[in-house]
Structure 1
């Protein structure tokens, strides 16, 4: 799947994207709320290979997409089926240089529209670490609603964390227009 927004190209990862993606995931603060630790020089090839493999969304395989501004990868979008009929979960990470320019909102909003239009999903959700305020704001900007806040329900990186679930239906997207 490849598509364009006003300023961005969203496409599957390519082999020459490794360094740009490493720059995203090589920072503790970017990975703080993710399920994995920051990438190292030793594991970056292995981690990036997973992104290259995930080039098509199927019931059994996640989709990983590069967010490209001009010629540089500035973000990473992920989508996977949850096991519930026609329901997907989304995830996203962006580089420091992308912050404050609206690129994340533009990319994730474009992805949501594609998922409803092209994949005919019924529901899109995002599960977040409750401390990730920027991610919460992004979900709300694109029209997702906060549906749940679970207290210390997830053990990650040596601590119990709260989780927040955001959700969206096609009808929620149409309410925005």
Structure 2
């Protein structure tokens, strides 16, 4: 799957994307609200190989996409089917270098349109750490609605955290 927007190219990862992706995930701030710890020199190849393998969205496999801005990977989009019929969950991470430019909104919004239009999904959802205000704002900017706030429902990185679920249907597109 390739998507081209006004400023971005969104495509499956390629082997030469490793250093750009490592720069995103070797950052404490970026990984603070993610389920995994930051990448290290020792584990980056193994972790990146998983992204390379996630090159098609099927019921059995996740899709991972590189967000390219000015010939550099600045973001990572992930999509996977949930157990519910025609429902996908999305996840995303972006380099702090591009914060505040609207690139994440542009990328995630274009992905959402593609999922509804070409994959005919019924519902798209995002599950976030409730402390991740930037991610909440992104979900709201692209037309997702906050559907649930669970209190201390998730054990991650040695602490209980709150989770927020955002969701949208094709009728929610702005």
TM-score after normalising by structure 1: 0.98
Match of 1:66 in 2: 66
Aligned pairs (5 A) from 1:123-134: 123-134=123-134
Distance, in Å, in 2 between the alignment partners of 1:118 and 1:98 is: 28
Distance, in Å, in 1 between the alignment partners of 2:132 and 2:97 is: 18
Distance, in Å, in 2 between the alignment partners of 1:170 and 1:105 is: 17
How far apart are residue 96 of structure 1 and its match?
1.1
SS in 2 for 1:116: helix
Distance, in Å, in 1 between the alignment partners of 2:22 and 2:74 is: 11
How far apart are residue 7 of structure 1 and its match?
0.3
Aligned pairs (5 A) from 1:42-121: 42-121=42-121
Match of 1:40 in 2: 40
Task: Kindly provide the CA deviation profile for residues 149-168 of structure 1, in whole angstroms up to 9, marking residues without a partner as x.
Answer: 00000000000000000000
How far apart are residue 52 of structure 1 and its match?
0.1
Distance, in Å, in 1 between the alignment partners of 2:84 and 2:98 is: 33
Match of 1:160 in 2: 160
**Uncovered stretches (5+) of structure 1, i.e. residues with no partner:** none
Distance, in Å, in 2 between the alignment partners of 1:80 and 1:98 is: 25
SS in 1 for 2:105: helix
Task: Kindly provide the CA deviation profile for residues 80-109 of structure 1, in whole angstroms up to 9, marking residues without a partner as x.
Answer: 001100000000000011101000000000
TM-score after normalising by structure 2: 0.99
Distance, in Å, in 1 between the alignment partners of 2:111 and 2:98 is: 17
Match of 1:140 in 2: 140
RMSD: 0.4
Q: What number of residue pairs does the alignment pair up?
A: 174
Match of 1:15 in 2: 15
Distance, in Å, in 1 between the alignment partners of 2:96 and 2:136 is: 17
SS in 2 for 1:52: helix
